[in-house]
């Protein structure tokens, strides 16, 4: 009966997608297949109840094992890497793979800012509270796993509605003094990617480091890029119970930004670009100190201190698309470009402890800790740059049009506990208390009226929640969770956009909660599954209204996202036998149905006009469905993987504007379907050759519109691209 039930679930998911496709007169490709006789089913692995002083029981989570994915890792293809995580919205306007733009449950994918993004457990966003955008993504070839924990992660990791994404870099080989790995990739449009890593263990010392470089001309005109990333980690085992480690990462890149297109330009030729002088770069450095102590058999301590030193630099002509970047006939030169520069210095430390203790005949687990964080951001914008074409940040006038200094202090304490009740039930309550201090100073324009009155805000925030798991079989459980979440007021929301704009002195952080429940597990090593529902309440959204004749920025809105998330994967051959002379084959379906709507929008300027009311409108960039199907086949040393992705249409503004405006900054983006194929061959034990084709059918599509940088308009996704890789391990 169990086998029949799961095949019926897969049949329902597949026929649902087929019905949608037939309704829209589009061709459907059935599940994608993944094959590899030398690996277990998946690429998605379970987690223990607790690990490294973090509790995972009772939470919606996915752990992606990169070594089990037959995917194109050379360009950080996020739709393939996150393909088995249901409901992940992905912005695909940047083919370089330098930055990941991902979200879930109807939230915005803008540089992953609704997630708490970490590397090896520490922050890597620009500023965790005031500017949570992430400009750095480690190369996927360097990763061992990616942990994705939905909103319930806010108790142990801090503020976010989306949850946490933790990129975990590979570790030293414990059995070799020197182990070497190399991966060389060449591809369409001048792509060259090289990844080289070395690591090992000698007595009490272990080490791992890599060097990575990627460059290409880009699929669109004016989209060249080059990026460099380096990493080194060294650990010293002071004793059998004490370990000391340090790690350092550095990234630098230069990326030409082709800017947006009008919808007509997109339809005529989506590879064209009218902006040749727009450039972007974000140097990033981070260092961390790790101190781990097994205090007693049941109590462990982890102290992690970290520092991020980074920048966000852009130069370009970012006027509306209907204002051409042309040569001034009087000077015979292009118009001056705009220069914007941010500098970030962030420091933090987290102390995490876990204690196992006996109560009522059961060994329970308490995870608790403290966090201290200091963020410094210097923001300089609207500088008058050169009239040249290169990545030139020199100003023709030494004074920026806007200059702001932001400071953040944060202190937090948190605790969660697993209570084991009987042999089947786990209950996991928890709480987190945050103290956040924000300050701002500077000017928004160079006139006396543009001086911003220095201001400091302090607020105390209590988050709480509880999760539970109930064992149905030895390999499956029911789970559920309710957790409060919040999103701090960002720097842009604290700063008036003009001297006439007024900021509400009682402006509050966005608050709400995540709730989810589902059923997950495995059946006889040939089926993995996780099927559940979710509800996300997002309150105190910030907007601008007119009050006393002036623009007034305040909390005016709320939204609700609810839906279904399901993942199921079947090892087809293992249904019939543990061994097959015909190889191994698996199929998966990752489905999400999302209903994200505004439930409140208190703008008196539009309240009287029901045609302009935003209430009951769909949240922008929240597709009604995201489906990814895949299949893989392996025979001896050969593996072939095919993936099919389909995403529903989205609105790009809260008013749900259907038709594009003249500057192409708003307007509905249609649904799209994409296919990817990866074939690999492993030979002589140490070598691998891989062929990948992204966007197999050369689908024309777009996932985003831009209102400002990197140039207003519709931003196309990449067309068909072909890559070939050679890898070796010694």
Helices (H) and strands (E) in the chain, counts: 6, 39
Q: Which two tokens stand for residue 657?
A: 């504007």
Residue 81's H or E segment, with its range, is helix 78-81
Q: Which two tokens stand for residue 314?
A: 């852009």
pLDDT value of residue 378: 97
pTM: 0.92
- How big is the chain, counted in residues? 730
Nearest CA to 475 among 426, 530, 433, 428?
A: 530
Q: What angle do CA 553, 559, 565 make, to 5 degrees?
A: 145
Q: What is the spatial distance between Cα 199 and Cα 558, in angstroms, rounded to a whole number?
A: 49
d(CA 247, CA 117): 17
The CATH class given to the 42-169 domain equals mainly beta
The H or E element containing residue 80 is helix 78-81
H or E, element range at 264: helix 263-268
- List beta partners, residue 706: 713
C-alpha distance from residue 88 to each of 31, 257, 468, 603 (Å): 18, 25, 24, 31
> Degrees (nearest 5) of the Cα angle 381, 387, 389?
95
| Residues near 334 by beta carbon (within 8 Å), at least 6 away in sequence | 277, 317, 325, 326, 327, 328, 387, 388, 389
Number of alpha carbons in the 13 Å side-chain half-sphere of residue 97 = 25
Q: Is the dihedral of CA 106, 108, 113, 118 positive or negative?
A: positive
Q: If DSSP codes are grouped into helix, strand and coil, which group holds residue 15?
A: helix
- Which residues face 710 on adjacent strands? none
Q: Give the closest residue to 367 by CA, choosing from 67, 683, 730, 49.
A: 49
CA-closest candidate to residue 468, choices 529, 423, 517: 517
pLDDT at 382: 95
CATH superfamily of 179-724: TonB-dependent receptor, beta-barrel domain (2.40.170.20)
- What are the structural domain ranges in the chain? 42-169, 179-724
How far apart are the C-alpha atoms of 444 and 654, rounded to whole Å? Answer: 27
Spatial CA neighbour of 245 closest among 171, 174, 297? 171
For residues 430 and 415, the answer to whether their CB atoms sit within 8 Å is: yes
Q: Supply the pLDDT for residue 21.
A: 37
Residue 11 confidence (pLDDT): 36
- Check: CB of residue 532 under 8 Å from CB of residue 566: yes
Low-confidence ranges of the chain (pLDDT < 70): 1-42, 332, 578-579, 605-612
Instruction: Give just the sign of the alpha carbon dihedral 549, 550, 555, 556.
Output: positive
d(CA 248, CA 350): 17
Rounded Cα gap, residues 81 and 137, in angstroms: 13
Q: Are 352 and 365 in contact (CB under 8 A)?
A: no
Distance CA 598, CA 651 (A): 13
CA distance 521 to 713: 44
- Strand spans (E) along 191-283: 191-202, 205-216, 225-237, 242-256, 279-281
CA pair distance 194, 230, nearest whole angstrom: 12
Short-list 535, 487, 532, CA closest to 507: 487
Q: Take residue 516 and report the two structure tokens written for it.
A: 């989810």
């Amino acid at each position: 009966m169990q086998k029949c039930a799961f095949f019926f679930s897969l049949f329902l998911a597949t026929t649902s997608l087929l019905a949608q496709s037939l309704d829209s007169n589009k061709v459907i490709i059935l599940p994608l297949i993944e094959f590899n006789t030398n690996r277990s089913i998946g690429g998605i692995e379970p987690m223990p109840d607790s690990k490294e002083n973090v509790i995972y029981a009772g939470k919606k989570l996915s752990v992606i094992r990169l070594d089990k994915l037959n995917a194109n890792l050379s360009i950080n293809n996020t739709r393939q890497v996150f393909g088995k995580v249901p409901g992940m919205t992905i912005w695909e306007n940047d083919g370089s793979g330098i930055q990941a733009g991902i979200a879930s449950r109807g939230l915005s994918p803008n540089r992953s800012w609704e997630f708490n993004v970490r590397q090896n457990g520490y922050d890597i966003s620009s500023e965790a509270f005031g500017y949570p955008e992430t400009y750095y993504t480690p190369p996927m070839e360097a990763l061992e796993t990616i942990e994705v924990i939905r909103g319930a992660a806010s108790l142990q990791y801090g503020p976010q509605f989306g949850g946490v994404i933790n990129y975990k870099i590979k570790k030293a080989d414990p059995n070799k003094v020197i182990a070497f790995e190399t991966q060389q990739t060449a591809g369409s449009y001048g792509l060259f990617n090289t990844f080289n890593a070395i690591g090992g263990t000698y007595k009490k010392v272990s080490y791992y480091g890599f060097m990575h470089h990627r460059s290409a001309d880009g699929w669109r005109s004016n989209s060249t890029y080059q990026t460099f990333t380096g990493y080194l980690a060294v650990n010293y085992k002071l004793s059998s119970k004490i370990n000391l480690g340090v790690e350092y990462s550095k990234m630098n890149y230069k990326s030409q930004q082709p800017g947006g297109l009008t919808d007509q330009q997109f339809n005529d030729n989506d590879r064209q670009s009218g902006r040749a002088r727009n450039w972007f770069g974000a140097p990033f450095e981070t260092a961390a100190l790790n101190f781990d102590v097994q205090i007693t058999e049941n109590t462990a301590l982890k102290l992690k201190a970290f520092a991020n030193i980074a920048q966000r630099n852009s130069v370009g002509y970012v006027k509306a698309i209907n204002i051409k970047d042309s040569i001034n006939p009087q000077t015979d030169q292009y118009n001056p470009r705009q220069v914007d520069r941010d500098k970030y210095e962030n420091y933090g430390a987290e102390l995490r402890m876990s204690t196992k203790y006996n109560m009522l005949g059961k060994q329970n687990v308490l995870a608790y800790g403290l966090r201290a964080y200091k963020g410094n951001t210097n923001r300089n914008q609207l500088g008058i740059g050169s009239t040249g074409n290169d990545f030139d940040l020199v100003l023709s006038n030494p004074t920026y049009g806007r200059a702001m200094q932001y400071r953040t202090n944060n202190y937090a304490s948190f605790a969660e506990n697993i209570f084991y009740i009987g042999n089947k039930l786990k209950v996991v309550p928890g709480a987190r208390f945050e103290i956040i201090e924000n300050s701002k100073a500077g000017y928004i324009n160079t006139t006396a009226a543009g001086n911003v009155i220095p201001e400091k805000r302090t607020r105390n925030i209590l988050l709480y929640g509880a999760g539970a798991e109930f064992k149905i079989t030895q390999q499956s459980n029911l789970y559920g969770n309710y957790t409060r979440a919040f999103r701090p007021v960002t720097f842009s929301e604290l700063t008036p956009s003009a001297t006439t704009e007024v900021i509400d002195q009682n402006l509050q952080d966005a608050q709400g909660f995540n709730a989810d429940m589902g059923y997950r597990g495995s059946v006889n090593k040939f089926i993995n599954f996780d099927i559940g529902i979710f509800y996300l309440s997002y309150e105190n959204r910030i907007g601008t209204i007119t009050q006393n004749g002036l623009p007034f920025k305040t909390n005016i809105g709320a939204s609700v996202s609810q839906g279904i998330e399901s993942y199921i994967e079947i090892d087809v051959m293992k249904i019939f036998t543990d061994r097959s002379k015909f190889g191994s084959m698996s199929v998966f379906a990752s489905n999400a149905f999302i209903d994200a709507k505004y439930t409140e929008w208190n703008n008196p300027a539009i309240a009287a006009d029901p045609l302009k009311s935003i209430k009951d409108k769909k949240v922008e960039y929240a597709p009604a469905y995201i489906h990814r199907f895949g299949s893989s086949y392996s025979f001896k040393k050969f593996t072939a993987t095919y993936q099919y992705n389909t995403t529903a249409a989205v609105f790009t503004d809260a008013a749900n504007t259907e038709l594009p405006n003249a500057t192409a900054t708003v307007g509905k983006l249609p649904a799209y379907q994409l296919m990817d194929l990866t074939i690999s061959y492993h030979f002589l034990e140490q070598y691998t050759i891989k062929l990948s084709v992204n966007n197999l059918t050369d689908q024309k599509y777009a996932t985003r519109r831009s209102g400002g940088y990197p140039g207003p308009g519709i931003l196309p996704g990449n067309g068909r691209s072909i890559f070939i890789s050679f890898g070796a391990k010694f």
